[in-house]
Amino acid sequence: MNKIKYLLLATLIAVSAASCKKTLELAPEDYFGSSSFWENESQVNNFMAGIHTQFRNQQFQFYRLGEMRGGGLSNVDRQNTSLNDLPIIQQDLSENSTGVSAWAGFYGPILQINLFIQEVEKVGFLAESRKNYLLGQAYALRAYYYFHLLRTYGGVPIRLEPEVSNGKTDPIELRKARATEAEVLKVIKDDVNKSITLFGGAASPADKSLWSPKASHMLKGEVYLWSAKVYNNTADLAEAKTALNAVTGTSLLTGTAASFANVFKQKNNNEIIFAIRFNVGEAEMPSYGQFLYSTFNFDGQHYKDSTVSAGVGNFLVDPLKIAQTNSQQIIQRYGYTFELFQTYQLADNRRNATFYDYYKVNTAVNPRVVTIRNTALVKFIGPDAATTTNKKYFTDDWPVYREADRLLMLAEITNAEGGNPASFIKQIRDRAFAPAADPTPFVSGSKDANELAIFSERSKEFVYEGKRWYDLRRMKFGSDPLVFKSTNHSYGVLTKGTETHKTLWPIERAIWTNDPLVNQTPGYATTKP
């Protein structure tokens, strides 16, 4: 997408649909209406490119919603810096501390998609196959945004028309209450199914930074799996399996110790189904530098693990060469727990492809004592500085869907159906330990034991891919989601009963102040009159 020059509404802003006030105060200026914009295929293609650019701009928000509350991130400062997003990481959410605001900012992109659907459905200059393909992308992308909203807030206002861009400016008319979760789920299912119908038999493109038929089938599989396990619509398990099995022609990268790392280094590789594209000179992964170490707190103080155990070795001086980064601030504002790092077996290739571990050591005593254990995230660190004119750019692609996710969702479905998920888990673990043999192959056990084994693989496979919080909410031990603390496993982050309401996020006061039809998420205290 390095040649993207897109035309969107010149001043339509990213807004909260329920928080209408900002929208209503700024009527669209220089509006490209039907008579002046939607006149040729190039304009339509450029608008869809713009929708994808907006999608890329949401990458860190997708991550924040899908992973930060999942228990993998530390709330302990190990670098003498202040940490970001602590209310989210610590589950300290309330009406006055909502973690994210304005419905996560998703109604702005939804507005643009609604406009695209409205206008493209009317045009007559596009070939039918091209028109259907573009609409297939639009309906699926809208479903993807609403799926995040459903999993974050539960019921949300449903907006399927571009009211503001159509000239509706009366704040009373624009008010809209939150729909039920069932109603939002129906919209998502309708959109993703319509997308698949519109795509028909179209092939997915080689450029995997564009939404494709395969991506729609992955989304349907994930939506119907969520429906089956969170809302107990058990018949949807079969729908989820059919959708995931419809994704063909992809495979895990395998064969070498570097195979897992190459999934993120090689663009458009065969494991990727859909990814957000980052390129040197175009866009870097936002905020990634805040998952690394701070060089001024690192130089001359830390050892790599192999030298700690021996009690000798050199001090480290910027081993990842992050001082040569292009533009981002490099200071650790986020850190994964060292306990998560320790869940990897030493021979697991994912361990060092995901984290760089380092330690602060008291050298005044013998034997030396490790005082701080820390990790830097290296999974998406980008090409080596030497290959990019001595600058490091964080330009690895960020997978939305890849083959490993498909296999582990199929494992989860098989287990829910009472089957043996070993064939799916084996592929993941074989790649993780390649070219050596898996030292502890998975053996199918009880449904609960299998569920924990699948979650364990997902927790190591998808670090920084925005899935862990959603996995905790969807996956279960017995009848309880893994998100609740339990004596049966160590993954829970909420106390059942007293914190059950926290499975959903609160909304800030400004939303229901501007739209009195909108109520606070159940369970959160509110000062609404």
Report the relative pairing of strands 476-477 and 398-402 from DSSP bridges: unpaired
Domain around 436: 207-274+400-462
Contact 94, 506 (CB under 8 A): yes
What's the pLDDT band for 307 if we cut at 50, 70, 90?
low
Q: Please, what is the average pLDDT of the chain?
A: 89
Distance CA 471, CA 474 (A): 5
For residue 12, pLDDT over 80 is answered with no
Smallest Cα–Cα separation from 4: which of 34, 31, 42?
Answer: 42
Report the relative pairing of strands 480-481 and 476-477 from DSSP bridges: antiparallel
Distance CA 445, CA 338 (A): 29
Residue 312, C-beta contacts closer than 8 angstroms, at least 6 positions apart: none
Domain count, the chain: 3
Do 413 and 391 share a structural domain?
A: no
pLDDT of residue 389: 72
Do 296 and 167 share a structural domain?
A: no
Q: Which residue has the higher pLDDT, 150 or 304?
A: 150
Contact 175, 20 (CB under 8 A): yes
Distance CA 93, CA 502 (A): 8
Do 414 and 370 share a structural domain?
A: no
Q: What is the pLDDT of residues 417-438, one digit of tens each?
A: 999 999 999 999 999 999 999 9
Which range has the worst mean pLDDT, 16-25, 239-248, 291-300, 423-432? 16-25
Q: Which of 462, 482, 515 is the last residue of a domain?
A: 462
Distance CA 68, CA 56 (A): 19
pLDDT of residue 364: 76
Distance CA 166, CA 464 (A): 39
For residue 300, pLDDT over 80 is answered with no
Q: Within the chain, what is the greatest distance between any pair of CA atoms?
A: 80
Do 168 and 47 share a structural domain?
A: yes
pTM over cut 0.85: yes
Q: Which of 396, 423, 445 is the last residue of a domain?
A: 396
Kindly report the backbone phi and psi dihedral angles of residue 279, in degrees, each rounded to the nearest multiple of 5, phi listed first.
-140, 145
Do 136 and 3 share a structural domain?
A: yes
Report the relative pairing of strands 476-477 and 302-303 from DSSP bridges: unpaired
- 521 within some domain: no
Q: Alpha helix (H) ranges present in 176-292?
A: 181-199, 213-230, 236-245, 259-265
Which range has the worst mean pLDDT, 25-29, 301-305, 325-329, 437-441? 25-29
Do 190 and 126 share a structural domain?
A: yes
Q: What is the mean pLDDT of residues 308-316?
A: 57
Do 347 and 296 share a structural domain?
A: yes
3-state secondary structure at position 340: helix
Do 47 and 6 share a structural domain?
A: yes
For residue 76, pLDDT over 70 is answered with yes
Dihedral sign for Cα atoms in the order 304, 307, 312, 314: negative
Q: Which of 373, 396, 419 is the last residue of a domain?
A: 396
Q: What is the mean pLDDT of residues 328-350?
A: 93
Distance CA 502, CA 511 (A): 19
Please report how the helices 403-416 and 213-230 are oriented relative to each other, as an axis angle in degrees rounded to 10. 30
Q: Does residue 102 come out as left (phi exceeding 0), alpha (psi in the -120 to 50 range) or beta?
A: left
What's the pLDDT band for 164 if we cut at 50, 70, 90?
confident
User: What tokens were used for 58?
Assistant: 């949401």
What's the pLDDT band for 385 if we cut at 50, 70, 90?
confident
- 501 within some domain: no
pLDDT of residue 21: 36
For residue 6, pLDDT over 50 is answered with no
3-state secondary structure at position 231: coil
- 294 within some domain: yes
pLDDT of residue 80: 81
* Residue indicated by tokens 């084996």: 426
Residue 501 DSSP class: G
Distance CA 121, CA 505 (A): 35
* C-alpha distances in Å from residue 478, one per residue of 223, 336, 416, 482: 21, 28, 11, 9
Residue 484, C-beta contacts closer than 8 angstroms, at least 6 positions apart: 492, 494, 495, 496, 500
Q: Which residue has the higher pLDDT, 295 or 347?
A: 347
Q: What is the pLDDT of residues 249-269, one digit of tens each?
A: 999 999 999 999 999 999 999
Counting residues of the chain whose pLDDT is more than 90, the rounded percentage is 75
Do 267 and 324 share a structural domain?
A: no
Residue 150, C-beta contacts closer than 8 angstroms, at least 6 positions apart: 156, 181, 184, 185, 188
Do 192 and 212 share a structural domain?
A: no
User: What tokens were used for 465?
Assistant: 């891919």
- 51 within some domain: yes
Residue 291 DSSP class: G
Distance CA 108, CA 143 (A): 14
Do 193 and 340 share a structural domain?
A: no
Do 162 and 191 share a structural domain?
A: yes
- 242 within some domain: yes
What's the pLDDT band for 3 if we cut at 50, 70, 90?
very low
Kindly report the backbone phi and psi dihedral angles of residue 356, in degrees, each rounded to the nearest multiple of 5, phi listed first.
-110, 115
- 167 within some domain: yes
Residue 124, C-beta contacts closer than 8 angstroms, at least 6 positions apart: none
